[in-house]
Chains A and B, each alone.
Chain A
């Protein structure tokens, strides 16, 4: 069984640039959630993808966008980077069954550390 993987592990960008972060879900999982964790804080929910559609969104501006692919992997895109976007970005995968029943336990990847200068 393959766990959740994320790439890259570290990234340094400058203000105004754009960034794409990638996540491969755990084998058998079909739902991917993205979280932002600022230093010293708990993770904050960005959005969730299921069947290639956004399932719900946290309090993040539209410059945070995402995709889910047919193999359930996912991307997080952030445009017009700001200094406050510097954080650890965590991807979590879970299994949701047809009919709405979810296994809610989410398995997290190692994260991508984004630094915006």
Chain B
């Protein structure tokens, strides 16, 4: 079964600094999703990556999928307090008849200090 490992598990950075969160899969990734979660709340979709070498950006957040499609990274530039939260990577995993479920990493808790 597919497993995702995120690193680091927690991260404390000073406001304005850059940071990177990594997500490593035990199997080839066919759809990799990044979500953000405020403590105890639902997941907010950030980005989806499918192709090896793909890179997507939204505002100050950039996500990449490596060429071998087994590792993804999420990079935040010039971090702000609004970036604080839990970041989760999720991978498409087949169910039956074309249906998919998501397998998640354990999450990375990001704290931004002023």
Interface residues of A (CB under 8 A from B): 4, 31, 33, 35, 40-45, 48, 50, 55-56, 58, 88, 90, 92, 96, 99-102, 104-111, 113
Instruction: Classify chain B's interface size.
Output: 20 to 34
Which 7 A-B pairs give the minimum distances between C-beta atoms?
A100-B98, A56-B95, A42-B104, A108-B43, A110-B42, A108-B42, A45-B101
Question: What is B's interface to A at a CB cutoff of 8 Å?
Answer: 4, 31, 33, 35, 40-45, 48, 88, 90, 92, 95-107
Contact, CB under 8 Å: B42 / A45:
no
A42's closest neighbor in chain B, by CB?
B104
Do residues A56 and B101 form an inter-chain contact, with CB atoms below 8 A?
Answer: yes
Q: B96 to A56, Cβ gap below 8 A? A: yes
Partner among A35, A55, A105 whose Cβ is within 8 Å of the Cβ of B45: A105
Besides A40-B106, A42-B104, A43-B88, 18 new A-B residue pairs in contact (Cβ under 8 A), listed by A number: A33-B101, A42-B4, A42-B90, A43-B43, A43-B102, A45-B101, A55-B96, A56-B101, A90-B42, A100-B97, A100-B99, A102-B99, A104-B31, A104-B92, A105-B45, A107-B45, A108-B35, A110-B42
B residues less than 8 Å from A90 (CB atoms):
42-43
Q: Write the nearest CB–CB distance from B43 to chain A, whole angstroms.
A: 4
Q: Dominant SS at the A interface?
A: strand
* Contact status B105-A42, CB under 8 Å: yes
